[in-house]
Structure 1
Amino acid sequence: MSDPVFFAAPETMSLQAIADWAEAEILSGDPDLKISGVAPVEDAVPGSLVFFDNTLYLDKLAETRAAACLVGRKHKDKVPDGVAVLLCREPYRSWALVLAQLFPTAMVPRAENAIGVSERAVVDPTAVLEEGVVVEAGAVIGAGAEIGAGTAVRANSVIGEHVRIGRDCVVGANASVQHALLGNQVYLHPGVCIGQDGFGYAMGPGGHLKVPQIGRVVIQDNVEIGANTTVDRGANRDTVIGEGTKIDNQVQIGHNVVVGRHCVIVSQVGLSGSCTLEDYVAIGGQTGVRGHVTIGMGAQIAGVSIVNDDVPAGGRYGGTPAKPVKQWFRELAAIRKLAERGSEK
C-alpha cells in the first residue's frame, strides 16, 4: 500500500525566519541555521523544530535530537546543548504561528483543483453566488440562497432556501445549513447540522404537541464548528454564535442559546435551550448546561460537569452539580478521607 503525505513538507527555512514567525527571540543558535521540518520533541531528527511547554515531557526534551526548540523563559535552561533556543512568551501559541506559515492548507482544507460549480451539483437558478464560490459534486443550493466570494461548499452538503453565507467560508462535506445567516470566514467541519428544529414540545397526558420553531441561527465572523456538531434554530428568537468562537466535534447547542465572542466549547458538551454564555467562556468536554442559566464572561467550566445555576464572570467551576473548584476539591478530599477511614476498619 502506498503511503501518501497529505500535507507536503515545507521548504527549508532559516532559524531567523522561524523566530520572526513565532514572535520569538533567538537566545542561542545561528540565525542562518537551516530548519527542514517540524516534529514532536521525542520524534525529532536533525533539522527539526520542536516546542516545549509541558513538564511531563522534560525527560524527552533532554534527549531530543531537534535543531531548535520554541520554549518559555521558565524552561529555557532545560533545552540540551546543541539545540538552538527560541525564547517565546507562549510556546504553544508560537508553534501555532509557525505551523500556519508552513502548512496553510491544514488551516482550512480545500479540495485541490476545485474551481466553480461542479456539473454534478444542484444550484437553484434563483440562488446568488459571488465570484470565486466553489460548489463540489453532490451539493445542493436552495432557492434564494446567497453565498459570498471565496466560499467553498464541499461534496454532498445542503444549503437551504434563503440561507446567507458570507465570504471565505467553508461548508464541510455532508453538512446541512438551513434557516441561518453565516458571517465571513466561518468554517463548518463535515457533518455539521445548522438550523434544524429546536426540541420543543408542549407535553401532556394525551400526547406531546410540537411547538413550531420560528427563529434562526446567526453565526458571526471567524467561527469554527467541529464535525457532527448540531446547532438548533431558535424557537421564538435567534440562536447566536458569537465572533471568534471555536466549537469542537459532537457538541449539541439547543434553541435560543446565545454563545458570546471567543468562547471555547469542547467535544460532547450539551447546551440546553435558552442558556447564555458570555464572552470568553471555556467549557470542558462532556459538560451539560441547564436551560435558562447564564455563564458569565471569562468563566471556565471543568469537563464532565453539570451546570444547574448561573456562574459569575471569571468563575472557575466543576463537578456535579458544578460549584467553585476550591469547594469541589475540598469535597473530593473529604470523601477520599472518609473512604480511607472506612477501608481501615
Structure 2
Amino acid sequence: MEYNRFFPPHDGLSLRELANHLGAEVADEKFSELVIHSVAPVYRAAKGDVCYILSRKNMDELRSCNASAIICATALQSIIPSHIPVLLSDNPHAAFAQAGALLHPQAMRAVTVGKDASGISPAAFVDPTARLEANVLIEPMAVIGADAEIGEGSQIGAGAVIGAGVKIGRNCSISAGASVLCAYVGNNVIIHNGARIGQDGFGYAPGPAGMLKIVQIGRVIIQDNVEIGANTTIDRGTMDDTVIGEGTKIDNQAQIGHNVRIGRHTAIVSQVGIAGSAKIGSGVQIGGQAGVAGHIHVGDGAQLAAGSGVIFDLAPGGRYGGVPARPIKDFLREMAETMAKIGNRKKMRGGEND
C-alpha cells in the first residue's frame, strides 16, 4: 500500500523494544535490532511492518510475506518462513493491538484538523464560565457551554457541542459534530463523529388530547475508557441516570434508551437498540442489529447473536440467538430443522424454486 498520509509510520522501534512493550519474546536474538515502523496485514506486510497470525489459515499468504516481524503463538512458530523474525506471545491478537497503539498513537484518538493543532481555535466559542485544564484542544466551530468542565489533554472536534454544566474528563476525544449534553464523562473516553449524548429520552403518556411528553431530568454517566461510535445516540435518564460502564465499547449507529445501565467491558455492535430501563451486565457481547426490550436484564458475560430479539431476562454467561432470543443451540437446531423442511418441500415439487 502507498504511504498513508493520514497515519504516517512511526520513527521506529527495535524489535527488542517492541517485544518489551508487548511482553513478548524475540524468538531469535539476531533479529532484535531490526526496526519496526508500522503494522500491516500478512498478505502485504513489507520491510518495517509487523503483522500477526492466529491460525494456519494464513499459510498461503506467508509465502509472499516480507514483514520485519510476525507475532504468533509458540504452536505456530514452525510455519513462519525462516527469513521472517518471530515475536512469540501467549495472546497474539492482544499483542498486535498493543503494537498498533504504540506505533500509531494518533490513530487511537479522534483525528484533529492537523497534527500540529493545539489550543483553542479563534473560530470556536467557549463560554467565559467554562473551566478548561491545561493542553485542551478546541477545534473550529466547537461550542463549549456555560460552566462546562474539560480535563487536561482532551480534544473537542470541529463543530462539536459541549452543553452547559457538562463535565469531560482527561485525555478524552470528542469528535467533529458530536454533541454531549446533561452528561458527566470520565477519563480516556472516545466519542466519535456525530454521536449524540444526553438528549431527551423517548417517554410519553397517553392523554385525552394525545401523547403527553414525560419530563426527562436524568443524566448520562459515561465511565472511564469507554468508546462510543459514530452517530450512536445515548438518551439521558427520565429521573434516574443512563450509565455506561468502564471500558465498554459501543459501535456506530447504536441506540441506548433512557435509564439503561450497561456494565463494565461490554461490547455492543452497530445498529443495536436497547430500550429504556434495560440492564446489561458486564462483559456482555451483543451482535449487530440485536434488540433488547425495555426493563429486561441481560446477565454478565452473556453473548447475543446478530439480529437477536430479547424480550425475557437472560441468565449470565449464556449464548443466545433468534427472536425471541433463546439458547443458541436451540436456535440453531430450529434453524436446521426449518431448512430441512424447506429442502424437502422443494424435492416434493421436483426442485422448483419457491
TM-score, with structure 1 as normaliser: 0.94
Q: Distance in 2 between matches of 1:12 and 1:217?
A: 41
Matches within 5 A, 1:2-151: 5-28=5-28, 30-111=31-112, 112-151=115-154
* Contact kept in structure 2, 1:183 and 1:219, CA below 8 Å: yes
Q: Distance in 1 between matches of 2:56 and 2:341?
A: 32
Structure 1 counterpart SS, 2:27: strand
Q: Distance in 1 between matches of 2:133 and 2:13?
A: 37
Other-structure match for 2:340: 337
* Contact kept in structure 1, 2:110 and 2:192, CA below 8 Å: no
Aligned-pair CA distance for 1:4: 5.9
Listed one character per residue, the Cα deviations across residues 153-175 of structure 1 (whole Å, up to 9, x for unaligned) are 11111111111111221111111
Other-structure match for 2:218: 215
Q: Distance in 1 between matches of 2:49 and 2:137?
A: 36
The one-letter amino acid paired with 2:202 is F
Other-structure match for 1:232: 235
CA 1:76–1:52: 2 relative to 1, 3 Å: same
Other-structure match for 2:185: 182
Aligned-pair CA distance for 1:142: 1.2
CA 1:341–1:232: 2 relative to 1, 3 Å: same
Other-structure match for 1:292: 295
Q: Distance in 1 between matches of 2:13 and 2:130?
A: 45
Listed one character per residue, the Cα deviations across residues 254-282 of structure 1 (whole Å, up to 9, x for unaligned) are 00000111111111111111001111111
Structure 2 counterpart SS, 1:203: strand
CA 1:85–1:328: 2 relative to 1, 3 Å: same
Structure 1 stretches (4+) deviating beyond 6 angstroms? none
Structure 2: state its 5+ residue gaps: 349-354
Aligned-pair CA distance for 1:132: 2.1
Aligned-pair CA distance for 1:320: 1.5
Q: Distance in 2 between matches of 1:68 and 1:118?
A: 42
Other-structure match for 2:155: 152
Q: Distance in 2 between matches of 1:35 and 1:115?
A: 29
Q: Distance in 2 between matches of 1:37 and 1:240?
A: 37
The one-letter amino acid paired with 2:315 is P
Bigger Cα displacement from structure 2, 2-11 vs 48-57: 2-11
* Contact kept in structure 2, 1:246 and 1:265, CA below 8 Å: yes
Q: Distance in 1 between matches of 2:264 and 2:181?
A: 22
Q: Distance in 2 between matches of 1:299 and 1:85?
A: 35
Aligned-pair CA distance for 1:22: 2.5
CA 1:4–1:22: 2 relative to 1, 3 Å: closer
CA 1:287–1:58: 2 relative to 1, 3 Å: farther
Aligned-pair CA distance for 1:199: 0.5
Bigger Cα displacement from structure 2, 315-324 vs 20-29: 20-29
Aligned-pair CA distance for 1:94: 0.6
Listed one character per residue, the Cα deviations across residues 208-267 of structure 1 (whole Å, up to 9, x for unaligned) are 111111111111111111111110000121000011111111111000000111111111
Structure 1 counterpart SS, 2:97: helix
Aligned-pair CA distance for 1:3: 7.4
TM-score, with structure 2 as normaliser: 0.92
Aligned-pair CA distance for 1:12: 3.8
The one-letter amino acid paired with 2:217 is I
Bigger Cα displacement from structure 2, 48-57 vs 114-123: 48-57
The one-letter amino acid paired with 2:7 is F
Other-structure match for 1:327: 330
Other-structure match for 2:283: 280
Counterpart among 246, 251, 264 of residue 261 in structure 1: 264
Structure 2 counterpart SS, 1:327: helix
CA RMSD of aligned residues (A): 1.9
Listed one character per residue, the Cα deviations across residues 293-312 of structure 1 (whole Å, up to 9, x for unaligned) are 01111111111111111111
The one-letter amino acid paired with 2:128 is P
Other-structure match for 1:304: 307
* Contact kept in structure 1, 2:110 and 2:174, CA below 8 Å: no
* Contact kept in structure 1, 2:72 and 2:87, CA below 8 Å: yes
Aligned-pair CA distance for 1:25: 1.9
The one-letter amino acid paired with 1:58 is M
* Contact kept in structure 2, 1:301 and 1:316, CA below 8 Å: yes
Structure 1 counterpart SS, 2:164: coil
Q: Distance in 2 between matches of 1:239 and 1:292?
A: 13
The one-letter amino acid paired with 1:303 is A
Aligned-pair CA distance for 1:126: 1.6
Q: Distance in 2 between matches of 1:55 and 1:309?
A: 40
Q: Distance in 2 between matches of 1:76 and 1:342?
A: 50
Bigger Cα displacement from structure 2, 249-258 vs 105-114: 105-114
Q: Distance in 2 between matches of 1:102 and 1:43?
A: 18
The one-letter amino acid paired with 1:216 is R
Structure 1: state its 5+ residue gaps: none
